[in-house]
Structure 1
């Protein structure tokens, strides 16, 4: 069975983030996209999303490696909800390798030309609910 085109897009995005190729990364976002940078902080628009990814990379000392875990794509109309495991490898406070797994949620929109673009990027997934109750 062929993998869903969105899975291939997310894989390309993960590689671009790891390679710090933010220009290539931006081709997969809509102009009006939103990115959850961290709980309580969301940025909108491709320019702000690009700046946020650069800041995130700098925060992780340019050593962030992003990989995919399990992924489910649910399509409806011209949209798709993606529920997946995002695996993050980064240095911890002691500069040792750390691995975190997040259950991320993303929304993609299919454009008239058939391309899928990310409109909502939320690597924190439903854990945002935990943050809002603290």
Structure 2
């Protein structure tokens, strides 16, 4: 679904995360959104999501780069489920760059103002199930 507007929105989010442009990033989140920070840790609300992204940037020495890969968008009832590959590049302990691909799941809501906003951001996707087993 190359023409879906969420593809460009997610690309803008990835760019904002990589650039640490948190004001730009937060415009794409619903006020009541949830972010899976890591398995077992979810934060809710824009303020907490912003703080989490700032902590993530610190953890990755301000060198995290996020890009999108393959993407599928399934729409229903003013919501969209996005299933996609998220490519992460970041330094390891020695400074070498690691590249990881996750199969992420995101939920977006099409708000009455016509904008799509993320309500659930889960870059771990279904691999969260592996963490509990």
Give your verdict on TM over 0.5. yes
Unaligned runs of 5+ in 2: none
- Deviation of the 1:3 alpha carbon: 1.7
Q: Determine if the alignment matches structure 1 residue 124 to structure 2 residue 100.
A: no
Relative to structure 1, the CA distance from residue 96 to residue 2 in structure 2 (aligned partners, 3 Å threshold; closer, same or farther) is closer
**Counterparts of 1:87 and 1:80 in 2: how far apart (Å)?**
21
Q: Secondary structure at 2:8's aligned position in 1?
A: helix
Q: Is 2:100 aligned against 1:103?
A: no
- Render the CA deviation track for 1:62-91: whole Å, top value 9, x for unaligned: 000000000000000100000000000000
Q: Aligned to 2:53, what secondary structure does the other structure show?
A: helix
User: How many angstroms does 1:92 deviate by?
Assistant: 1.0
Q: Which residue of 1 aligns with 2:38?
A: 38
**What is residue 12 of structure 1 aligned with on the other side?**
12
Shift of 1:95: 1.2
SS state of the match for residue 23, structure 1?
helix
Alignment map for 1:45-124 (pairs within 5 Å)? 45-124=45-124
Q: Alignment length, in residue pairs?
A: 133
TM-score by length of 2: 0.98
Structure 1: segments with no counterpart, 5+ residues: none
Computed over aligned residues only, the root mean square deviation of the Cα atoms, in angstroms, reads 1.0
